[in-house]
Amino acid sequence: MAPKLAISALLLLLVIIQALFVKSEPQISKSLQLLEGARKGYTFEGLNQVKQYLKAFGYYSINGSSHTDSFDDVLESALKSYQQYYRLKVTGRINSNTLKKISTPRCGVQDVFNDSDDDVKFSMIANYSFFNGMPRWNKRQLTYMFRSSAFVISDQKFRPITTSALNKWAAVSNFAFREANPSDIVMGFHRRSHGDNFPFDGPGNVLAHAFAPRDGRLHYDADENWSTSNAIRQNQIDLESVAIHEIGHILGLGHSEDPNAIMYAYFSPGTIKRNLGRDDIDGIRALYSN
Ligand SMILES: *[C@@H]1O[C@H](CO)[C@@H](O)[C@H](O)[C@H]1NC(C)=O
Ligand SMILES: *[C@@H]1O[C@H](CO)[C@@H](O)[C@H](O)[C@H]1NC(C)=O
Ligand SMILES: *[C@@H]1O[C@H](CO)[C@@H](O)[C@H](O)[C@H]1NC(C)=O
Ligand SMILES: *[C@@H]1O[C@H](CO)[C@@H](O)[C@H](O)[C@H]1NC(C)=O
Ligand SMILES: [Zn+2]
Ligand SMILES: [Zn+2]
């Protein structure tokens, strides 16, 4: 009896240790893993996936041919900008750290927009960013409502999480939020293609996206394993953390290069990140000063 119990306990411990390991290592899809070491001048099967990924987030320029598997100059320069943005070693090659980053779940909003004169000025001095042309709300009292095309959680569960996320921004700005119908902001869960030219991709990778002011649409990918409690499991995505980030977009913030900022594009499953960083606060205040 006793040895059996000890063996069970040992097995349980091993399972826990394994679980801890899995947590720290983002899942890299098998096909992507084969691209490790890829560099300019060669052709690699499946490389177009990386081009399309970099294109979706604003790195791979329209001049490149994103549907071929050849490693061209455009891809090399796109990889360098991506590596620089995410503070990876800037090699212009597909190394393991770059693949690891690419395999981590993230927000669907692009990181870099066309360089217009105002954007360049800001990106030189700060980690935070704005959308092209710095679109803003022209009022500070905003209304919101829930409208989903896929069921994930009830509005009763959705409401307190949303309120808490909105309050984080209200606390550091002049914004106030109130539920109403019709509303300025419409948030909800959607699956795959959902009518806005930015289809979701099933479990993993893109978790959510939102549009710049004064659009107000905020969409969560219904296929993620969303967590709505404080007791998050290792493979789950904390809804409130993502909500705070997406509301940042709704208000006009782009992505931040600061990993501590809420507006950083990547999210680790199994973690909770519900506090605005210094950079987020600086960003919203810079956008709405005067
Ligand atoms: C695309 O190519 C044109 C002509 O070669 C060049 O003028 C332009 O700067 C390029 N654009 C980008 C975004 O690389
Ligand atoms: C870049 O700017 C051009 C012209 O203003 C626009 O047509 C294009 O959609 C923009 N691209 C992105 C990624 O914003
Ligand atoms: C940008 O973020 C980095 C890393 O968090 C930080 O060390 C740096 O001071 C930030 N830069 C500015 C201008 O806030
Ligand atoms: C979500 O994660 C929980 C906890 O790990 C797990 O029990 C559940 O099966 C997952 N649900 C889906 C749809 O993957
Ligand atoms: Zn985002
Ligand atoms: Zn959408």
Residues written for the chain: 290
The pLDDT tens digits of the residues spanning 57-95 come to 999 988 889 899 999 999 999 999 999 999 999 999 999
Question: Which parts are annotated binding residues for Zn(2+)?
Answer: 107, 194, 196, 209, 219, 245, 249, 255, 263
Write out the catalytic residue numbers: 246
Instruction: Please identify, in words, the CATH class of the domain defined by 122-287.
Output: alpha beta
Q: What does the DSSP 8-state code read for residue 147?
A: -
pLDDT at 118: 46
3 state SS of 118: helix
Among 243, 269, 268, 257, smallest CA distance to 126 is for 257
Alpha-carbon gap, residue 136 to 284, rounded angstroms = 10
Task: Give the pLDDT band of residue 17 (cuts 50, 70, 90).
Answer: very low
Q: Among 27-41, 96-110, 207-221, whose mean pLDDT is lowest?
A: 27-41
Q: Work out which ligand 1 atom sits closest to the CA atom of 62.
A: 13
CA-CA-CA-CA torsion sign (107, 240, 216, 151): positive
How much distance in Å is there from the Cα of 276 to the middle of ligand 5? 14
- Of 119-123, 126-130, 172-176, 222-226, which range is least confident? 119-123
Quote the CATH superfamily of domain 30-102: PGBD-like superfamily/PGBD (1.10.101.10)
Three-state secondary-structure class, residue 88: coil
Q: Give the pLDDT score at 4.
A: 59
Mean pLDDT for 185-198 is: 97
Domain spans of the chain, in order of start: 30-102, 122-287
Give the integer Cα–Cα distance in Å for 264 and 84: 14
- The residues near 225 (Cβ < 8 Å, ≥ 6 apart) are 203, 235, 236, 237, 269
Q: Considering the chain, what is the average pLDDT of its residues?
A: 89
Residues in Cβ contact with 107 at an 8 Å cutoff, skipping those fewer than 6 apart: 206, 207, 208, 209, 242, 245, 246, 249, 255, 265, 266, 267
Q: Is the pLDDT score of 11 beyond 70?
A: no
The tokens for 174 are 């002049």
Residues 6+ apart with CB under 8 A from 67: 48, 51
pLDDT at 25: 38
Angle subtended by helix axes 239-251 and 278-288, to nearest 10: 30
Query: Are the CB atoms for 257 and 127 separated by under 8 Å?
Result: yes
Q: How many Å lie between the centroid of ligand 5 and the Cα of residue 7?
A: 46
pTM of the model: 0.86
CA-nearest residue, atom 6 of ligand 1: 63
